Amino acid sequence: MAKIESDVLHVPEELKEVLGPDTKMIAGTAAVIAFSAGTSYADVLRSLELIQDDIRLRLAKEKAEAPKPRDSKV
């Protein structure tokens, strides 16, 4: 997991290997995307679509696994 200390972002080796030495980042209010500087924005968008699909699947699974409220009638 990446960690920020004193305005320095510490990136795990696995991500450094994937992203390479020259990385671009775009920050939103709740998330950041990081990609190799040589990656086209079209490829970044396609990748984000796959990530969105994965998050939707995780949300659906989380919702399905959530405990069901019990009927309060006795």
pTM of the model: 0.69
74 part of a folded domain: no
Which tens digits make up the pLDDT trace of 45-60? Answer: 999 999 999 999 999 9
72 part of a folded domain: no
22 part of a folded domain: yes
**Domain tally for the chain?**
1
Distance (Å, whole) CA 65 – CA 67: 6
46 part of a folded domain: yes
49 part of a folded domain: yes
Position 74 scores a pLDDT of 59
14 part of a folded domain: yes
Which tens digits make up the pLDDT trace of 28-37? Answer: 899 989 999 9
Label residue 5 by pLDDT band (50, 70, 90).
Answer: low
44 part of a folded domain: yes
Q: In terms of residue numbers, what domain contains 26? A: 3-65
Distance (Å, whole) CA 19 – CA 39: 10
